[in-house]
């Protein structure tokens, strides 16, 4: 297939991962609409054509970070002091959330998304729930915080799917009522799902940004209001994400109030389906796994966060075998490294099962690329082929971590040896965002991170 349109730029890829194998010497043409116009391999592509920009190393489709809370980046290291649980970690998170303003959130998210670009991420799913001022008072623009995130992604040069999140309650009471939000949670809540839907409907997609929906969890959205959020997403054919069975306490509360698991409750209210992604999906029953797979509801695993918070190891192998597509996220940003997330999913399973090789390197890269982009509403991304978005990233094959491996085993090298530090180039819509390991739009990303995080400490 060749896309019509003027060829804006030509890249020559020393090695490229094409989904099933690594191909040496690939010429990639970018059309003026920011899509791949043509991909040429084989005879004639062994050397760079005249005028082509040369990318040495292994080029992959851009990585998709399917689950992010940008402000959690400010918690890195601070929450590693001492011991505790998910629930004590949450107290630290609330303190950071209380200090956010549209201006400070823009500055932090801009730096965080730049860090993602440096890690080869070209698209982020931002699970966004800090909507209002402290105390729950709306800003003059009720979507000021969401707009700050969208603009931050634009300035960092990556795509975003803003998963605007319904977060209405502190816990489960019954079918119709949740526990009133605590003082920290007031700025997350719109009061009702109908009010949430009215506010989020004012957000508009743009070239680099899509608008999706999220249900924070069954503990944060009363059961009787789940269908409102699901209907909003269905009417717009938008992605819908939900934290699902991350903690056993959530399962216990749901069973006590509703006599069913969170997965079964979501199914009852029309939440599951092929545009829905459950995040974590850690503590599931056999029936839950069958429901998620049977409805082709996706699963976003966030291994570095799940192990950091001692959540547990989710049944990713069984979910995929049941029919649930897998994607990956960095969630709380204990680290931002999608290669580590892919590696951790396999290695966690090895520890749990005491057997090796649950996924091939190709399958893990597919979760980090094509299936992640699809979960974020961009099925036209995540592949190096004509017609796809010209979003890709290049990993060094000559670093201290990657040197010596056979180029044809580049997928294995990327997943099981490389890290985000090995990313040399990131290209979005055919435009260099990261060149030779440096961000092209934000001159000093570490300083931008340090300053934004320091500002939140007051």
Q: For 183-188, what is the mean pLDDT?
A: 94
Whole-number percent of the chain with pLDDT over 90: 89
Nearest to 425 by CA among 395, 383, 382: 395
By annotation, the residues acting in catalysis are 280, 331
Q: Indicate the pLDDT class of residue 1, thresholds 50, 70 and 90.
A: very low
**In this model, does residue 4 exceed pLDDT 80?**
no
Predicted pLDDT of residue 458:
60
Q: What is the 3 state secondary structure string of the chain?
A: CCCCCCEEEEEEEEEEECCCCEEEEEEEEEECCCEEEEEECCCCCCCCCCCCEEEEEEEEECEEEEEECHHHHHHCCHHHCCCCCHHHHHHHHHHHHHCCCHHHHHHHHHHHHHHHHHCCEEEEEEEECCCCCCCCCCCCCCCHHHHHHHHHHHHHCCEEEEEEEECCCCEECCCCCEECCCHHHHHHCCCCHHHHHHHHCCCCCECCEEEEEEECCCCCCCHHHHHHHHHHHHHHCCCEEEEECCCHHHHHHHHHHHCCCHHHHHHHCCCCCCCEEEEECCCCCHHHHHHHHHCCCEEEECHHHHHHCCCCCCCHHHHHHHCCCEEECCECCCCCCHHHHHHHHHHHHHHHHCCCCCCCHHHHHHHHCHHHHHHCCCCCCCCCCCCCECCEEEECCCCCCCCCCCHHHHHHHHHHCCCHHHEEEEEECCEEEEECCEECCCCCHHHHHHHHHHHHCC
Q: Indicate the pLDDT class of residue 332, thresholds 50, 70 and 90.
A: very high
Q: For 339-356, what is the mean pLDDT?
A: 96
Q: Note the pLDDT tens digit of each residue in 364-404.
A: 999 999 999 999 999 999 999 999 999 999 999 999 999 99
Alpha-carbon span 94 to 97, nearest angstrom: 5
Q: Which two tokens stand for residue 340?
A: 């580590």
Nearest to 218 by CA among 245, 191, 196: 245
Q: For 111-118, what is the mean pLDDT?
A: 98
For the chain, the distance separating the N- and C-terminal CA atoms, rounded to the nearest angstrom, is: 55
Q: For 424-431, what is the mean pLDDT?
A: 98
**In this model, does residue 10 exceed pLDDT 70?**
yes
- Other Cβ atoms closer than 10 A to 191: 11
Q: Indicate the pLDDT class of residue 104, thresholds 50, 70 and 90.
A: very high
Q: Indicate the pLDDT class of residue 45, thresholds 50, 70 and 90.
A: confident
- Average pLDDT in the chain: 95
Predicted pLDDT of residue 176:
79
Q: Note the pLDDT tens digit of each residue in 120-176.
A: 999 999 999 999 999 999 999 999 999 999 999 999 999 999 999 999 999 998 877
**In this model, does residue 81 exceed pLDDT 80?**
no
Candidate from 43-52, 87-96, 150-159 with smallest mean pLDDT: 87-96
CA geometry: angle at 385 spanning 339 and 212, to 5°?
A: 65
Alpha-carbon span 439 to 282, nearest angstrom: 35
Q: Indicate the pLDDT class of residue 86, thresholds 50, 70 and 90.
A: low
CA geometry: angle at 136 spanning 130 and 139, to 5°?
A: 75
Nearest to 110 by CA among 147, 152, 143: 152
Residue matched to tokens 């709380």? 332
Q: Are the beta carbons of 188 and 178 closer than 8 angstroms?
A: no
Q: Indicate the pLDDT class of residue 2, thresholds 50, 70 and 90.
A: very low
Predicted pLDDT of residue 446:
98
Q: For 41-48, what is the mean pLDDT?
A: 90
Q: Note the pLDDT tens digit of each residue in 233-285.
A: 999 999 999 999 999 999 999 999 999 999 999 999 999 999 999 999 999 99
Predicted pLDDT of residue 3:
45
Q: Which of residues 308 and 130 earns the better pLDDT score? A: 130
Alpha-carbon span 10 to 388, nearest angstrom: 15
């Amino acid at each position: 297939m060749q896309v019509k349109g003027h060829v804006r730029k030509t890249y020559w890829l020393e090695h490229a991962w094409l989904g099933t194998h690594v191909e040496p010497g690939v010429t990639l043409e970018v059309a003026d609409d920011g899509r791949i116009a043509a991909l040429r391999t084989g005879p004639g592509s062994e050397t760079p054509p005249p005028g082509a920009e040369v990318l040495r190393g292994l080029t992959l489709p851009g990585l998709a970070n399917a689950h992010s809370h940008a402000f959690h980046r400010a918690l890195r290291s601070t929450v590693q002091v001492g011991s505790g649980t998910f629930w004590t970690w949450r107290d630290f998170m609330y303190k950071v959330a209380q200090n956010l303003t549209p201006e400070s959130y823009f500055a932090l998210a801009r730096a965080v998304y730049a860090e993602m670009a440096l890690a080869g991420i070209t698209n982020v799913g931002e699970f966004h729930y800090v909507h209002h001022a402290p105390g729950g008072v709306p800003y003059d623009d009720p979507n000021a915080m969401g707009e700050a995130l969208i603009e931050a992604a634009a300035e960092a040069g990556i795509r975003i799917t803003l998963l605007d999140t319904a977060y209405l309650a502190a816990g489960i009471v019954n079918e119709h009522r949740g526990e009133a939000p605590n003082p920290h949670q007031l700025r997350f809540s719109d009061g009702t799902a109908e009010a949430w839907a009215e506010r989020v409907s004012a957000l508009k997609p743009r070239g680099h940004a899509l608008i999706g929906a999220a249900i924070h969890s069954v503990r944060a959205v009363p059961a009787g209001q789940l269908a409102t959020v699901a209907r909003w997403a269905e009417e717009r054919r938008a992605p819908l994400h939900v934290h699902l069975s991350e903690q056993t306490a959530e399962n216990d509360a749901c069973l006590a109030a509703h006599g069913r698991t969170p997965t079964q409750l979501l199914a009852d209210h029309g939440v599951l389906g092929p545009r829905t992604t459950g995040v974590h999906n850690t503590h599931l029953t056999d029936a839950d796994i069958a429901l998620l797979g049977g409805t082709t509801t996706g699963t976003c695993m966030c291994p570095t966060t799940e192990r950091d918070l001692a959540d547990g190891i989710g049944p990713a192998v069984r979910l995929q075998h049941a029919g649930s597509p897998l994607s990956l996220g960095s969630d709380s940003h204990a680290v931002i490294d999608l290669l580590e997330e892919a590696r951790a999913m396999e290695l966690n399973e090895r520890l749990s099962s005491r057997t090796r090789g649950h996924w091939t390197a190709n399958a893990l890269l597919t979760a980090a690329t094509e299936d992640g982009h699809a979960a974020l509403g961009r099925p036209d991304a995540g592949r190096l082929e004509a017609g796809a978005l010209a979003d890709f990233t290049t990993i060094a094959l000559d670093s201290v971590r990657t040197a010596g491996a056979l180029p044809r085993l580049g997928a294995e090298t990327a997943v099981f040896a490389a890290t985000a530090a090995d990313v040399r180039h990131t290209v979005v819509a055919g435009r260099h965002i990261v060149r030779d390991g440096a961000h092209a739009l934000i001159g000093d990303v570490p300083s931008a991170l340090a300053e934004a995080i320091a500002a939140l400490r007051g």
